[in-house]
Chain A
Amino acid sequence: MKSKKFTTIVLALSLLLCGCAVQNDAAGAAGGQSDETVYTASVGSKNSMSADEQYAELTQDTLREAFLELEGVKDAKVHIAYAEDSVEVTTDLTYAEGADQEKTKETVEAVLQKFFADDVNAHITVN
C-alpha cells in the first residue's frame, strides 16, 4: 500500500513537472521567432524634441565629459533646462592653471552654439 502511494505521488509530481516543461517550451518556441524592425532618423525626419529631464541629464554628462578633454578645462558643470519652447544652457568652467580663459570660454561657447543650433530658443551662458 505504501509503495502504491509513493508511486502515485511520484506520478503526480512527474505530471506537474512535464506540464512545466511543456509550458516553458511553448514560451521558448513562441519567443524563438525573430521579428525585425528597422527605423531611421535622418535629416528631414525631425520630430518634436522631447524636453525631458532625463534627456537633459544625459546631454549634460556627455557635454561635460567632452569639455574635460579640452586643454584649459580643469572641470566643467553643465546644466540644461528644457522649457516648452526654449532651452537654457549654463556652463560653469574651472580653468586649468595657465589656461587662456577667454579662448577656452569661446571654444566652449562655440561648441554649445553648434550643439544646440537646431533649438530655436537656446540661451547659452558660459561662466
Chain B
Amino acid sequence: MIKFIRKFVSILMVAVWLLNVPLTVFAEEMPEQTEQFAMKPLPKQVGETKVVCEDENGILYVTLVDFSESVTRATNRTTDATFLFHYKTILGTTADAFEVKLSCDWIEDGLNSSIIVLNGNATTLGGGYTCTWIDSYHSQCQCWLELDVAKSGVYRFCALLVPLEDNPQLSLDYLYFGEIVG
C-alpha cells in the first residue's frame, strides 16, 4: 500500500509539474513587460495585424478592425478607427484583450488645418486587462491620449496632422511603454 501511495504521489508530482506551465499560461494570458517602450505604427489597412509586444508566454497583437473617414461639412473631417488588441499564447490559444476606438474631428484647410478633438474609447474584453485613461495633450496639429492598461503598460495614441497646403495628412499611431511613465 505504501509503495502504491509513493508511486501515486510521484506520478502526481510529475503531472502537476508538467501541467504547471500551460496552467499558468491559461490562467494569466497576459504578457510580462519585456520592452520599456517602442514606437509602434498602428495597422493602416482594415484586417491588418501588428505585434505589440511578446513574452515567453505568447504575443500581444493589434488589428485594425474598422476604419472610416467622413466629411461632415465642407472642411470638417472625421477619422474613425477601431483597434482590437488580442493575445495569443504559445499553445495557440487566442483571447481578446481590449479594444480602442479613436475618433478624430479635424478641419482640412491647407496650412490652417487643425485638429478639433480626439476621442478615445477603451473597452476591456478579457484576460484581466483593465483600461484607464490617464493623460492627454492637444495642440493645433498634435493630439494624444494616454491609456494605462493594467498588466500590459501605457499606450499613447497620437493623432498627428501635417498641414500641407494641397494635401493635409492626418495619421493615427501609438507609442507603447512597458511601464507607467512620469
Contacts and interface: CB of A to CB of B under 8 A. Distances in A.
A62 B171 contact: yes
A79 B15 CA distance: 57
Nearest to B29: A27
Contacts of A39: 119-122, 133, 136, 145, 147
A12 B181 contact: no
Contacts of A45: 136, 138
A102 interface: no
A117 interface: yes
Interface of B: 4, 7-8, 11-12, 15-16, 19, 22-23, 26-29, 37-39, 95, 111-113, 116-133, 135-145, 147, 156, 158, 160-165, 167, 169, 171, 173, 175, 177, 181-182
B111 A16 contact: no
5 contacts: A31-B124, A38-B120, A39-B133, A39-B147, A115-B140
Nearest to B8: A8
A122 B27 CA distance: 49
Contacts of B128: 27, 30-31
Contacts of B12: 12
Q: When A and B form their complex, which 10 residue pairs have the shortest distance between CB atoms, in order from nearest?
A: A31-B126, A39-B133, A118-B139, A41-B136, A66-B162, A42-B117, A35-B124, A41-B138, A24-B26, A115-B141
